[in-house]
C-alpha cells in the first residue's frame, strides 16, 4: 500500500489583477504537491473553458489560468480549488477589467470653480437656483451638501450635517444651505436638505411634492405620519418662481442599489413623476462610489472605466426611470482630513451641468 499524499496547500496564492480591456490576464499559484485534482471557478461557478479565451496550464507544482483579450465579462472573482485523497484547499483573486473611458471628467477644478463663481441666473427675479436633495436614509444627502460647501470654502467643511450611520434619518428639518464663496459672497445656489425616505417612517412623499412646488418654508420639521397642512405656519400658500425647486437631485448610495426595497423605489418614482409633470429637471447623484467599487476607491480618476460603477448607474437608471446621462457618480468627503482635487472635480463636473439645467428650467417657466 502506498502512503497517502500530502494534504494540498498553497506555496504562493493567486494575486488580484487589474488590466485594461484587450490585455492578457495571468492568474498563477504554486502548490506543495503534484497529483492534484484542480478546478477553476469564476464567481462561484465552475469556469467553462472557452477556446481562444482561457488557457489552463500545469507545470509541476505551478498552476495558471491565462485569460486572453480581457473583456468586461472577464471581471469577477476567480478561485482555484485543489483536492486529493488527503484533503482540499482553495484560494481566490479579484480580476478588474478597466473599461475604455466612456465619460470624461475635467480633472482640473479652476475652470469649473470660476464658471460657478461668475454664474448668473438668466431671470433677474430669481436670486438663487434651488436644488432639493431627496433619497433613502443615509444615502449621503447631507454629505453632498458638505462636499459642495467644502469646494467653495477652500477647506473641509465641518461635517455636522451628516450622521455616522443610522437606520432612521439624521436630518429631520427642511433646511436650506447656501454656498459661501470665501467669507462673504454667496453663490446663487441653494441646496435644500430633506429627511430620508424610509419604508414606514421617514419623509411623507406628499411633503416632498409640496416642497418641489415651493409650498414648504425652511425650518419645517417633517412629520412622517401626516403631510403638511395649509394651516401650518411653514406652509407657503402662493409660492413664487423663486420659492420653487428648480432641480430635483435624487441621492442614491452606490453600495446599496442592489438591496433597495421596492416600497422605497415606488416612493422615489412617485416623487420623480410629480417632478416630471412640473417639468423640473431631475438627476441622480450616486454617492459612496468608493464603497461600491475598489477600482474607484483606489483612484477616483478610474470612475468612468469601472464596470461596477457603470453597472450600478444602469441599474439605478432602470429602477428609478432616469436616463443614464442624468446620473452622476460622486464621492463625498467622508474620512479625508484634507481637501482633494479629484473629489472636488467629480462633484464640480456634476454641479456645472445641473446648474445649467436648473437655469434653463427657470427661464422656461418665466416665459409661461
Ligand atoms: N465612503 C463614503 N461614505 C459616504 C459618502 N457619502 C456619504 N457617506 C457616509 O454615509 C453616511 C450617511 O451620510 P449622510 O450624508 O448623513 O446621509 P443622509 O442622506 O443625509 O442621511 P439622513 O439625513 O439620515 O437621511 C455617513 O457616514 C457619511 O459619512 C461617500 O461618498 N463615500
Ligand atoms: Mg442628512
Give residue-wise pLDDT tens across range 201-228: 777 889 999 999 999 999 898 888 888 9
The answer on pLDDT for 97 being more than 90 is yes
The answer on pLDDT for 158 being more than 90 is no
Whole-number Å distance, alpha carbon 47 to ligand 1 midpoint, is 38
Whether 104 is in a domain gets the answer no
Say if residue 145 is in the same domain as residue 292. Answer: yes
Say if residue 118 is in the same domain as residue 80. Answer: no
**How many separate domains does the chain show?**
2
Q: What is the CATH number of the domain that holds 37?
A: 2.60.40.10
| Minimum-distance ligand 1 atom for the alpha carbon of 287 | 31
| Minimum-distance ligand 1 atom for the alpha carbon of 146 | 15
Please give the Cα distance from 247 to 175 (Å, whole number): 16
Q: What is the CATH number of the domain that holds 329?
A: 3.40.50.300
The answer on pLDDT for 199 being more than 60 is yes
Instruction: Give the confidence band of 170 by pLDDT, cuts at 50, 70, 90.
Output: low
Whether 63 is in a domain gets the answer yes
| Minimum-distance ligand 1 atom for the alpha carbon of 291 | 1
Q: Is 312 within 8 Å of 292 (Cβ atoms)?
A: yes
Whether 1 is in a domain gets the answer no
Q: Which of 63, 98, 133 corresponds to the end of one domain?
A: 98
Q: Residue 265 has which C-alpha cell?
A: 423605489
Instruction: Give the confidence band of 327 by pLDDT, cuts at 50, 70, 90.
Output: very high
| Minimum-distance ligand 1 atom for the alpha carbon of 331 | 31
Whole-number Å distance, alpha carbon 196 to ligand 2 midpoint, is 7
Nearest CA owner, ligand 1 atom 13 = 140
Say if residue 93 is in the same domain as residue 159. Answer: no
Instruction: Give the confidence band of 189 by pLDDT, cuts at 50, 70, 90.
Output: very high
Nearest CA owner, ligand 1 atom 4 = 288
pLDDT on residue 164? 54
What percentage of residues in the chain have a pLDDT greater than 90?
77
Provide the angle, in degrees to the nearest 10, between the axes of the packed helices 341-367 and 109-117.
30
Whole-number Å distance, alpha carbon 143 to ligand 1 midpoint, is 5
Whole-number Å distance, alpha carbon 219 to ligand 2 midpoint, is 14
Whole-number Å distance, alpha carbon 55 to ligand 2 midpoint, is 51
Domain that holds residue 160: 109-367
Whether 49 is in a domain gets the answer yes
Q: Which of 76, 98, 120 corresponds to the end of one domain?
A: 98
Say if residue 274 is in the same domain as residue 350. Answer: yes
Say if residue 118 is in the same domain as residue 94. Answer: no
Whether 239 is in a domain gets the answer yes
Nearest CA owner, ligand 1 atom 16 = 162
Name the residue of 163, 167, 201, 297 to mutate for ligand 1: max ligand atoms within 8 A of Cβ: 163
pLDDT on residue 367? 82
Name the residue of 149, 150, 162 to mutate for ligand 1: max ligand atoms within 8 A of Cβ: 162
Please give the Cα distance from 325 to 163 (Å, whole number): 29
Say if residue 215 is in the same domain as residue 160. Answer: yes
The pLDDT mean for the chain works out to 91
| Minimum-distance ligand 1 atom for the alpha carbon of 289 | 31
Tens-place pLDDT, residues 18-71: 999 999 999 999 999 988 999 999 999 999 889 999 999 999 999 999 999 999
Say if residue 317 is in the same domain as residue 343. Answer: yes
Q: Which of 53, 78, 98 corresponds to the end of one domain?
A: 98
| Minimum-distance ligand 1 atom for the alpha carbon of 196 | 25
Say if residue 143 is in the same domain as residue 170. Answer: yes
Please give the Cα distance from 271 to 161 (Å, whole number): 23
Whole-number Å distance, alpha carbon 166 to ligand 2 midpoint, is 10
Instruction: Give the confidence band of 1 by pLDDT, cuts at 50, 70, 90.
Output: low
Say if residue 119 is in the same domain as residue 94. Answer: no
- Residues in contact with ligand 1 by the CB-under-6-Å rule are 137-143, 162-166, 169-171, 196, 251, 287-288, 290-291, 331-332, 334
What are residue 149's phi and psi, to 5 degrees? -65, -35
Whether 5 is in a domain gets the answer no
Nearest to 49 by CA among 67, 25, 35, 36: 67
Tens-place pLDDT, residues 112-152: 999 999 999 999 999 999 999 999 989 999 999 999 999 98
Say if residue 141 is in the same domain as residue 270. Answer: yes
Say if residue 45 is in the same domain as residue 189. Answer: no
Whole-number Å distance, alpha carbon 138 to ligand 2 midpoint, is 7
| Minimum-distance ligand 1 atom for the alpha carbon of 334 | 29
Strands (E) in the chain, as ranges, are 10-12, 17-20, 25-31, 37-42, 45-46, 54-59, 62-67, 76-84, 87-98, 129-135, 175-181, 185-193, 247-253, 282-287, 327-329
Lowest mean pLDDT, pick from 98-107, 108-117, 170-179: 170-179
Whether 333 is in a domain gets the answer yes
Say if residue 243 is in the same domain as residue 326. Answer: yes
pLDDT on residue 165? 54
Whole-number Å distance, alpha carbon 163 to ligand 1 midpoint, is 7
Name the residue of 332, 335, 336, 347 to mutate for ligand 1: max ligand atoms within 8 A of Cβ: 332
> What is the number of the ligand closest to the CA of 168?
1
Whether 3 is in a domain gets the answer no
- The CB-side HSE value for 162 (13 A sphere, CA atoms) comes to 20
Q: Is 282 within 8 Å of 247 (Cβ atoms)?
A: yes
Amino acid at each position: 500500500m502506498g502512503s497517502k499524499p500530502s494534504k494540498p496547500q498553497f506555496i504562493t496564492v493567486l494575486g488580484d489583477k487589474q488590466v485594461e480591456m484587450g490585455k492578457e490576464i495571468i492568474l498563477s499559484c504554486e502548490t506543495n504537491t503534484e497529483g492534484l485534482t484542480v478546478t477553476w471557478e469564476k464567481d462561484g461557478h465552475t469556469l467553462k473553458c472557452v477556446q481562444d479565451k482561457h488557457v489552463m496550464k500545469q507545470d509541476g507544482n505551478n498552476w495558471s489560468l491565462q485569460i486572453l483579450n480581457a473583456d468586461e465579462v472577464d471581471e469577477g472573482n476567480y478561485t482555484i480549488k485543489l483536492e486529493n485523497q488527503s484533503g482540499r484547499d482553495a484560494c481566490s483573486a479579484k480580476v478588474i477589467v478597466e473599461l475604455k473611458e466612456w465619460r470624461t471628467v475635467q480633472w482640473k477644478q479652476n475652470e469649473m470653480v470660476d464658471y460657478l463663481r461668475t454664474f448668473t441666473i438668466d431671470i433677474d427675479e430669481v436670486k438663487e437656483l434651488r436644488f432639493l436633495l431627496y433619497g433613502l436614509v443615509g444615502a449621503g444627502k447631507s454629505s453632498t451638501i458638505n462636499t459642495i460647501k467644502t469646494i467653495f470654502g477652500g477647506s473641509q467643511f465641518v461635517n455636522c450635517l451628516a450622521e455616522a450611520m443610522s437606520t432612521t434619518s439624521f436630518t429631520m428639518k427642511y433646511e436650506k444651505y447656501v454656498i459661501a464663496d470665501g467669507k462673504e459672497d454667496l453663490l446663487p445656489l441653494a441646496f435644500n436638505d430633506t429627511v430620508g425616505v424610509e419604508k414606514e417612517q421617514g419623509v411623507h412623499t406628499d411633503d416632498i411634492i409640496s416642497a418641489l412646488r415651493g409650498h414648504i418654508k425652511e425650518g419645517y420639521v417633517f412629520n412622517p405620519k401626516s403631510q403638511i397642512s395649509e394651516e401650518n405656519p411653514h406652509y407657503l400658500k402662493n409660492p413664487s418662481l423663486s420659492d420653487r425647486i428648480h432641480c430635483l437631485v435624487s441621492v442614491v448610495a452606490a453600495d446599496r442599489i442592489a438591496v433597495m426595497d421596492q416600497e422605497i423605489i415606488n416612493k422615489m418614482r412617485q416623487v420623480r413623476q410629480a417632478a416630471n409633470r412640473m417639468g423640473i429637471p431631475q438627476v441622480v447623484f450616486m454617492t459612496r462610489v468608493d464603497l461600491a467599487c475598489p477600482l474607484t476607491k483606489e483612484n477616483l480618476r478610474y470612475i468612468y472605466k469601472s464596470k461596477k460603477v457603470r453597472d450600478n448607474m444602469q441599474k439605478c437608471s432602470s429602477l428609478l426611470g432616469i436616463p443614464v446621462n442624468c446620473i452622476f457618480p460622486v464621492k463625498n468627503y467622508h474620512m479625508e482630513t484634507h481637501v482633494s482635487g479629484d473629489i472636488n472635480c467629480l462633484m464640480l463636473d456634476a454641479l456645472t451641468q445641473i446648474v445649467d439645467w436648473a437655469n434653463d428650467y427657470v427661464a422656461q417657466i418665466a416665459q409661461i
